[in-house]
């Protein structure tokens, strides 16, 4: 049997085969299917296929996350269609307003995904769940409808790219800077329909909240999926979750999933984590990456800290430590949007919301928010936004004349204080202490990150 990459190994197991190779087509069962507002678009083709009942309601997760609460008549209609479908099908894992969150964060923190799973979602950044050692990928609403009906999908086995991150990061340099460095090398088209698999000492040192950022932005490389092999930190994270569908006992048995020694990769990219400095992606592409120092001092009109890329509790804690006792610049507006309701509640309990609002920022309910240019922070013509999101294409956050710089939460926090792009290393004492504390107690941190919350019908 030939040695397999992580993506090949997962797809081979799902297909019931000893091995698969890039370019092959496999028909495989799905472990988890997620649909956000696109669920409303899947209902019609689901019925047109002649389906009347979903194949397994326990394996379907539907979080409303883009327009939360509904911001228009169109959004309200979408939500109404979804609620009616959920009631009709008796789907238990529905995350409605008040118990909602960004879809990928919900799947992670609510325990729906285990290493080796095949996860399919109606959002391109479903790749994020690959940080848990799964093959996770996004598809369109018609494909979602077919999975609702059959529980299966056909996939072409992707070629794999190996990304090795050596050394250790020097705070406040973070996984966001790592993935921007990889994007600079691979570009937005360099991983089309490929699996991007991360490894190396710097990856091993990262906590789960940092790893999610890496796999999330493999989407910006054009990748079919991004994967990190599970390890002790993955196990600790999952054991702190309320793992769904009676699969808690499977965690330990899946922790050994690895690429085989000698597996064939189409390309290997190496990043020296020890020498990495804060980076930004300049308008109008995520791969237009340069050292932050080259654009330092650029005035900004808005700072947005949020999205499925960088709005977990630990991201918000970095911002809170940077802003404590300070005011954001009067020359820019600042918006902080957490990734889920559980993170929102914890930020309230731990005093972050007060720090944010006392500093002069707006702390919103959890949602995709300003990231996609449709809700809560649209950028106007000629305005500049410093953002922790994943994309800065033309018109991504609003008007086509707007400009978006992508950066880490530490850099965004520094930029908000100064009203212009600022080097987070000037505030590294606070963020460096935070990173060290997280690294010292991963299991306790994982447990605190995910308070239990029941899905609401």
The domain spans of the chain are 7-272, 278-437
The total of other beta-carbon atoms located within 10 Å of residue 16's CB is 9
The total of other beta-carbon atoms located within 10 Å of residue 34's CB is 28
Phi and psi angles of residue 316, each rounded to the nearest 5 degrees, phi first: -65, -35
User: Which of 44, 78, 54, 53 lies closest to 64, judged by CA?
Assistant: 78
Full pLDDT tens readout for the chain, 457 residues: 899 999 999 999 999 999 999 999 999 999 999 999 999 999 999 999 999 999 999 999 999 999 999 999 999 999 999 999 999 999 999 999 999 999 999 999 999 999 999 999 999 999 999 999 999 999 999 999 999 999 999 999 999 999 999 999 999 999 999 999 999 999 999 999 999 999 999 999 999 999 999 999 999 999 999 999 999 999 999 999 999 999 999 999 999 999 999 999 999 999 999 999 999 999 999 999 999 999 999 999 999 999 999 999 999 999 999 999 999 999 999 999 999 999 999 999 999 999 999 999 999 999 999 998 888 899 999 999 999 999 999 999 999 999 999 999 999 999 999 999 999 999 987 444 444 343 333 333 443 444 443 333 3
State residue 439's pLDDT score.
36
State residue 449's pLDDT score.
43
State residue 442's pLDDT score.
36
Name every residue whose Cβ is closer than 8 Å to that of residue 438 and which is 6 or more positions away in sequence: 207, 314, 445
Q: Where are the alpha helices (DSSP H) in 30-134?
A: 39-48, 73-89, 103-109
Domain 7-272, what fold? Aconitase; domain 3 (3.30.499)
Fold match flag (7-272 vs 278-437): yes
Domain 278-437 has CATH 3.40.1380.10: no
CB of 289 within 8 A of CB of 274? Answer: no
State residue 432's pLDDT score.
45
State residue 11's pLDDT score.
98
Q: How far is CA 391 from the centre of its chain?
A: 12
Phi and psi angles of residue 228, each rounded to the nearest 5 degrees, phi first: -125, 130
State residue 122's pLDDT score.
97
From residue 215, how far is each of 87, 124, 127, 179 by CA, in Å?
A: 33, 12, 6, 8
Q: What is the largest CA-CA distance in the chain?
A: 63
Q: How many CA atoms lie within 13 A of 233 on its CB side?
A: 21
Residue 281: enclosing H or E segment and its boundaries? strand 279-281
Annotate 203-259 with DSSP letters as a single string.
HHHS-HHHHHHHHHTTGGGT-SEEEE---HHHHHHHHTS--STT-GGGHHHHTT--P
CB of 61 within 8 A of CB of 422? Answer: no
Burial class (CB in 10 A: 0-12, 13-18, 19+), 264: middle
């Amino acid at each position: 049997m030939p040695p397999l990459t992580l993506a090949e190994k997962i797809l081979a197991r799902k297909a019931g085969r000893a091995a698969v190779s890039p370019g092959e087509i496999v028909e495989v069962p799905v472990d988890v299917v997620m649909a956000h507002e696109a669920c409303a678009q899947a209902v019609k083709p689901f019925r047109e296929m002649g389906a009347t009942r979903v194949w397994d309601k326990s394996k379907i997760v539907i979080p409303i996350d883009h327009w939360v609460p509904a911001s228009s008549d169109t959004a309200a209609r979408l939500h109404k269609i979804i609620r009616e479908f959920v009631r009709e099908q008796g789907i238990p894992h529905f995350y409605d307003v008040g118990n909602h969150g960004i879809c990928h964060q919900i799947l992670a923190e609510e325990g729906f995904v285990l290493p080796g799973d095949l996860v399919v979602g109606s959002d391109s950044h479903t790749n994020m769940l690959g940080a848990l050692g799964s093959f996770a990928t996004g598809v369109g609403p018609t494909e979602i409808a077919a999975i609702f009906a059959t529980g299966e999908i056909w996939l072409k086995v992707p070629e794999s790219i190996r990304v090795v991150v050596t050394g250790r990061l020097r705070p406040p340099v973070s996984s966001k800077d790592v993935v921007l460095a990889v994007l600079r090398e691979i570009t937005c088209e360099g991983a089309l329909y490929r699996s991007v698999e991360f490894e190396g000492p710097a990856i091993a040192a990262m906590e789960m909240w940092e790893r999610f950022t890496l796999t999330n932005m493999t989407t910006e490389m054009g990748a079919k999926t991004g994967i990190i092999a599970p390890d002790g930190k993955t196990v600790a994270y999952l054991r702190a979750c309320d793992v769904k569908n009676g699969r808690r006992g499977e965690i330990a048995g899946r922790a050994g999933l690895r690429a085989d020694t000698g597996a064939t990769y189409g390309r290997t990219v190496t990043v020296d984590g020890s020498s990495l400095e804060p980076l930004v992606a300049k308008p109008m592409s995520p791969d237009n990456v340069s050292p932050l120092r080259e654009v330092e001092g650029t005035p900004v009109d808005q700072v947005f800290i949020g999205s499925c890329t960088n709005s977990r509790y630990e991201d918000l804690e970095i911002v809170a430590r940077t802003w404590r006792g300070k005011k954001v610049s009067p020359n820019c507006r600042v918006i902080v949007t957490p990734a889920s309701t559980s993170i929102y509640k914890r930020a309230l309990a731990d005093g972050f919301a007060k720090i944010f609002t006392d500093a002069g920022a707006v702390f919103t309910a959890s949602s995709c928010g300003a990231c996609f240019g449709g809700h809560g922070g649209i950028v106007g013509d000629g305005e500049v936004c410093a953002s922790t999101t994943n994309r800065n294409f033309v018109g991504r956050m609003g008007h086509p004349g707007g400009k978006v710089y992508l950066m880490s939460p530490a850099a965004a926090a520094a930029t908000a204080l100064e009203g212009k792009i600022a080097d987070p290393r000037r505030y590294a004492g606070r963020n460096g202490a935070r990173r060290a504390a997280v690294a010292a107690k991963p299991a306790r941190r994982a447990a605190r990150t995910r308070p239990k919350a029941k899905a609401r019908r």
